[in-house]
Structure 1
Amino acid sequence: MNAHDVAQYLQENPEFFERHADLFASLRVPSPHGGSAVSLAERQVGGLRDRLRASDARLMELVRNARENEIISENMFFWLRGLLIERDPLRLPDMLTKTLASSFTVPDVALRLWGVDNAPAEAVESGWAQPVPDDVRSFVNSLMAPYCGLNSGFAVAGWLSEHVRSMALIPLRVGVAPQAFGLLVLGSPDPERFAPSLGTGFLARIGELSSASLSRLLPR
């Protein structure tokens, strides 16, 4: 009889330890945490405690994730609410970038729009209505989804006020139109903040909401 045979016998005869209760009480097995041997009952209790601790840790992780998601939802609500109640479309670009940075703790945010009528002089000189080269526009048109990754010398990195190591590029377009009318750039000195492995679903929603709001600036 080998170990497999013993294990199979005990599985097929669970009443074994009822008939040999003294043996069950006297069995000593190695402790999973090292040290001297413990009784089989102690080993079982210890295993239950370990599983309980693992379950508690998993539960705390779920609670923490739920709270983080709740905070994100609240921030999204107040950010979007501010955009909806703004009556002056020309104030939207600055409001969008400032509140986006503060609501989601983004170190640096830049925005460029093209094809906008009646942009104020200060926006043309130093802000969101600055001219955008054709090659940058073509690149933005090629983005069908937000891009996340390291700053590998993108020209749009020059739009940001600080040196950044990771970036998110969010094209702005109306619906499924192939031509974009702007680009939202998020930057961080942390190379992991907008790592390539980051899911872009949330950034896509930011782009859709931004596009819907800023489309009020486009000619009708």
Structure 2
Amino acid sequence: MDANAVAQYLQDHSDFFEQHAELFSTLKVPHPHEGRAIPLAERQVLALRERVRGMELRVAELVRNAAENEHIADNLQRWSRALLKEASARKLPDVLTTGLADIFSVPDVALRVWGLPVKTDGAGDTPVWQGSVTDDVRSFTNSLMSPYCGPNAGFEAATWLERTVGSIALIPLRVGLSPQAFGLLVLASPDPDRFSPSMGTAFLARIGEVASASLSRLLAD
């Protein structure tokens, strides 16, 4: 009999070790780590311990992820609440960017909104968020069907920030399912690993949805 036949026999005869219980103490198998022979029963115990250890690590990872998700959800609620409390649509851009920087500890945040009547901020100056935007930026933003997250590949939007940008997240702002964006939200950091492609964009998409819904008030203002 070859090894496969033996394995098949044991599968077909699950009561084999009940009928030959002495094998548990007499049959020797290789230790998985130490290179010595140990009883079959001890080998089974080691296998179960390793499986339990793996399950404990997995549970710990799930608990850690749950705590992180809860923290993110709490921050998102705080940020959304601040936007809902702001009565003035013209103040929303500042509330939005300041909240992202403070609540989510984002080093650099920039915002541009276009297609609006130019209004001053009360001091005679055009707000930064309503500054000029090139056709290239608008075209690029329209092409973003989901947020970009990764290294700064020479994006023009990175020049809106004062510091050198190592990694960046670019979030298009749209009303509903419109193919035309009305703005671009930029999150950035000097750290090249802060916004990495491996992060995924689901949370950034939620940020974009809340920001778009909030800033859409400017279109009707």
TM-score, with structure 1 as normaliser: 0.89
Are 2:120 and 2:126, in contact at CA under 8 Å, matched by a contact in 1? Answer: no
2:138 matches 1:119: no
Output the CA distance in 2 between the equivalents of 1:28 and 1:7.
17
Distance 1:162 1:133, change over 3 A: same
Q: Residue type matched to 1:82 in 2?
A: A
2:190 matches 1:215: no
Output the CA distance in 1 between the equivalents of 2:53 and 2:123.
59
1:101 corresponds to: 101
More off after superposition, 146-155 vs 8-17: 8-17
Gaps of 5+ in 2: none
Q: Residue type matched to 2:128 in 1?
A: G
Q: Residue type matched to 1:129 in 2?
A: Q
1:190 corresponds to: 191
Output the CA distance in 1 between the equivalents of 2:124 and 2:191.
29
Deviations 1:37-92 (A, max 9, x none): 21111111111110000011111111111111111111111100000001122221
More off after superposition, 141-150 vs 116-125: 116-125
Are 1:117 and 1:217, in contact at CA under 8 Å, matched by a contact in 2? Answer: no
Distance 1:90 1:28, change over 3 A: same
Output the CA distance in 2 between the equivalents of 1:179 and 1:23.
73
1:8 corresponds to: 8
More off after superposition, 51-60 vs 210-219: 210-219
Output the CA distance in 1 between the equivalents of 2:170 and 2:124.
20
Deviations 1:157-199 (A, max 9, x none): 1111221122111111222233322111111223233223442
Number of residue pairs the alignment of both structures matches: 220
Secondary structure at the counterpart of residue 185 of structure 2: strand
More off after superposition, 147-156 vs 44-53: 147-156
Mapping of 1:1-220 within 5 angstroms? 1-114=1-114, 115-120=116-121, 124=125, 127-219=128-220
Gaps of 5+ in 1: none
Distance 1:186 1:10, change over 3 A: same
More off after superposition, 175-184 vs 3-12: 3-12
Output the CA distance in 1 between the equivalents of 2:22 and 2:198.
57
Cα distance, 1:207 vs. partner? 1.2
Q: CA RMSD in A?
A: 2.2
Output the CA distance in 1 between the equivalents of 2:210 and 2:18.
67
More off after superposition, 77-86 vs 176-185: 176-185
Secondary structure at the counterpart of residue 148 of structure 1: strand
TM-score, with structure 2 as normaliser: 0.89
Cα distance, 1:119 vs. partner? 3.5
Q: Residue type matched to 1:71 in 2?
A: H
Secondary structure at the counterpart of residue 130 of structure 2: coil
Distance 1:33 1:17, change over 3 A: same
Q: Residue type matched to 2:134 in 1?
A: P
Distance 1:119 1:214, change over 3 A: farther
Are 1:116 and 1:219, in contact at CA under 8 Å, matched by a contact in 2? Answer: no
Percent of paired sites with the same residue: 60
Output the CA distance in 2 between the equivalents of 1:24 and 1:13.
16
Moved over 4 A (4+): 121-126
Are 2:119 and 2:126, in contact at CA under 8 Å, matched by a contact in 1? Answer: no
More off after superposition, 140-149 vs 179-188: 140-149
